Structure 1
């Protein structure tokens, strides 16, 4: 197993954002967005470089094809956030509470997702490289058709996870606090699990190969 390369985010002295609405294709550099409500706004295709987004509301916010580089997302919350085809590079996500978030087709590289709860996360056909999930709850996360390389899930609860058609390389599931795979048990080639996890997943493996256990 090759180790995950973690982001080294060193934010410069940030300037407080003036409170205006986000703009599609906007260019945001060295800014701090704190305790703001961006619900329903669109920053489609925007670029965020050396930014911090703290305790902001993202309900139905559209960030399609946005780019977050060397940035921190802390305490963001929202339902129905559209992050499809977004690019996260050298980003820390801390204590996020998001539901029904669209991340399909996204690219995550050198990202840490620490704490928080992510419900119904859509990562279909996303590409994850050097991504560490730590002490977070993932409920019905959909990794269908996604590519995962050097990805870990230390201390995480994975409930009813979908790995249908996913491709894995150096994916470490051993540190997961709970591992529940609803679909795609046959796509774990390239991942490593613990002996106890193997016992827990044995019924799913048996069902996949058509073995009846009585």
Structure 2
């Protein structure tokens, strides 16, 4: 079920190489559906409840902004940095994130179901109840962050790494994995979907911790 943890058996995720141009400060009042934002810096703004459905953000930086209940479904976020953002209930369902860094975020209930993430790094911060159901993740790195009850149900993960991060109560139900590296996760608590770990690599210590769940999945009783 779980492949060998030899280094040569795991393809490393490709990370984004961001080189933002000189940015102009955003001077608009509110985001607009299908808006086009290029080379802008959104800093220290309250974007709570604003509607940017289908908007495109290219070469942008979003820093220390409030995103509570922001409507960004089907948005395209490209070659951009989101740093120190915070909020509950941000809607990014069906969004596309490519060559993006999400740094020190404090988010809860983020909706990314059906989204596509490619060459994305999530570094630091804490995200509660992250919804990535049926999303597609390719070349994604979770690094030094805390994910509380993230839901990857039915998602496709390819070249995804979890490094020095805490996965608490993760749901991997129905996930399809290829080259998913869990060995360096500081905490790995799988609530559901241990049977979907084919295509992942784990450490010997993690295998020991997961042994009861794996035995239960196989119908094996362990009797002293």
Runs of 4+ in structure 1 over 3 Å off: none
Q: State which of 31, 34, 38 in structure 2 corresponds to 1:29.
A: 38
Pairwise mapping of residues 1-214 of structure 1 onto structure 2 (< 5 A)? Answer: 1-214=10-223
Partners of 2:162 and 2:12 lie apart in 1 by 13
Is there any run of 5+ residues in structure 1 with no aligned partner, and where?
Answer: none
For residues 37-90 of structure 1, the C-alpha deviation after alignment (integer angstroms, 9 at most, x for no partner) is 000110000000000000000000010000000000001100011010010000
Q: If the length of structure 2 is used for normalisation, what is the TM-score? A: 0.95
> What is the CA-CA distance between 1:19 and the residue it aligns to?
4.0
* Higher relative contact order, chain-length normalized (CA < 8 Å, sep 6+): 2
Partners of 1:66 and 1:102 lie apart in 2 by 12
Partners of 2:107 and 2:218 lie apart in 1 by 35
Secondary structure of residue in 2 paired with 1:206: helix
Superposition CA RMSD, Å:
0.6
Partners of 2:221 and 2:169 lie apart in 1 by 22
> What is the CA-CA distance between 1:213 and the residue it aligns to?
2.0
Q: If the length of structure 1 is used for normalisation, what is the TM-score? A: 0.99
Residues 19 and 36 in structure 1, CA contact (< 8 A), matched pair in contact too = no
> What is the CA-CA distance between 1:206 and the residue it aligns to?
1.1
